[in-house]
Amino acid sequence: MNKLHEMTIHQARTLLEKKEISSEDLTRSVLAQIDRVNPGLNAYITVSGDDAMAQARQADQAISRGETAPLTGIPLAIKDLICTKGVRTTCGSKILENFIPPYDAAVIKKLRQAGAVVVGKLNMDEFAMGSSTEHSAFGPTRNPWDPTRIPGGSSGGSAVAVAADMCLGALGSDTGGSIRQPAAHCGVVGLKPTYGRVSRFGLVAFASSLDQIGPLAKNVTDCALLLNAVAGYDPADSTSVPRSVPDYAGFSSSDLKDLTIGIPREYQSTGGMDPDVSRAMTEAVRKIEDLGASVVSVSLPHTAYAVAAYYVIAPSEASSNLARYDGVKYGRRDTDAETLIDMYRQTRAKGFGPEVQRRIIIGTYALSAGYYDAYYGKASQVRTLITDDFRKAFERCDVIASPVTPTPAWKIGEMADDPLSMYLSDIFTLSANLAGVPGLSVPCGFSRDGLPIGLQLMGPHFAEDTLLKVAYNFEQATDFHTKKPNLKDIS
């Protein structure tokens, strides 16, 4: 393969270990691809070209000494809400546009220990609040399959960078579908791990009880390799679970005869399902049956309340977490204000975009005296019921299969004046965050307009290895993951 940036992680790793290619050449190829297509797609907020080449030279020296780690010399990119020492971390917001963290997040330390080369920071919906990567202070990210359409969000930059070969893999974060949804819309693999499986230390918080960092990759094997690198207990994160980490790349390519796949009845009756998504889902389940799995119908009876519960809990936690951006400690400060109160007000009014302001207002209201029990309290009770729904469903099946999104990617600006419709696009993904279970998106088809469609697999807590096994078997039996967007006219 003469275009090094088009390789997968495991292909590149093999060639690097054999010294048939160098990390410098690989990283240079990735940076050249960024120069070519990022102006038209806007996936990167910050490109660390000089630093990346320095890391690549160090990787080549380590390889020459025989001191290789699992990701030595592999160019990766990071969603711009994960702290990187010495490299600005903006969260896609004006309020942090010049913030340079003094430390690395736990997952960045792990990637560096694994030998990875970090090439830059990726665009996102501001503070991860959105499903389209239109809500960024640095402009919208565009879908490489059709630049007039959204790439999904909030990890849209991560999905686009992987799909357009501007990195070999990426990290994103998922609070209500923000890894899985853009992975589906861009035709890549994305995994939201179990809550507590990957450290959140150094992740800028949106909704602390829902946020989870996870990988986006070109195929299932690469996704597993990235999860291997970042998973594990971290005492610096009080929600991290002290549980051993299996070899996620050790999944079997054998058939799925020992597995049962559950199809939620409530998801099949969801209104607004695009016929192309419904068709792709039906064909994907049939393929999984052909691979040996048995299929049963299961019930998640409180699905109808999931969106409402999520959009009370997540904005409430956002209201609390974003209170720290007051113009005093760090980040943007409005210098025109004459009084302290005006400084607070103007800093936040000018620093936060409209979607973030909307969610802060919703969350502040839901947490206010006299309304806490009626809103946040009730939403938390619904969350418990949803968690129990999954527990009961997994007594009947090993994995739940569903669409990732009700529709393929929509046009940029199409839902700009209809935030409720955008919120409803998360109907199939956000329940996994409320319940804390893992969820994975794997390419399973294309719409009549040639847009990617994703299959979602969800499992019990800490069943990432099972999800990866099912996804790998499905991937090997199909060719959706091998198809690439046409980037010739993007510049």
Residue 194 CA to residue 88 CA, distance in Å, equals 28
Please write down the long-range contacts of 305-308, taking CB distance under 8 Å and 24 or more positions apart: 305/382, 305/385, 305/386, 306/382, 306/386, 306/427, 306/430, 306/431, 306/434, 307/423, 307/424, 307/426, 307/427, 307/430, 308/379, 308/382
DSSP for residue 373: I
Which H helix or E strand runs over 210?
A: none
Helix axis angle for 220-230 and 464-476, nearest 10°, is 160
Measured in whole angstroms, how far is the alpha carbon of residue 173 from the centre of its chain?
4
Strands (E), 222-293: 260-264
Per the structure block, which two tokens stand in for 111?
């990637």
Out of 79, 110, 192, 218, the active site residue is 79
Of 301, 271, 260, 294, nearest in space to 400 by CA: 260
Strand order of the sheet with strand 439-446?
44-47, 117-122, 75-79, 169-174, 212-217, 189-192, 439-446, 452-458, 399-403, 260-264, 294-298
In degrees rounded to 5, what are phi and psi of residue 445?
Answer: 165, -175
CA end-to-end span of the chain, whole Å? 23
* Catalytic one of 22, 93, 154, 319: 154
Position of tokens 């977490």?
A: 321
Burial bucket for residue 287 (CB in 10 Å: 0-12, 13-18, 19+): middle
Which phi and psi (to 5°) does residue 212 adopt?
-155, 135
For residues 85 and 102, what is the distance between their CA atoms, to the nearest angstrom? Answer: 5
297 noted as active-site residue: no
Q: Any catalytic annotation for residue 178?
A: yes
| DSSP E strands, 98-139 | 117-122
Cβ atoms of 209 and 215 within 8 Å: the answer is no
433 by DSSP, 3-state: which?
helix
Of 23, 132, 178, 199, which is the active-site residue? 178
Token code pair at residue 230: 């970042």
Token pair belonging to 290: 């052909």
Residues catalogued as catalytic: 79, 154, 178
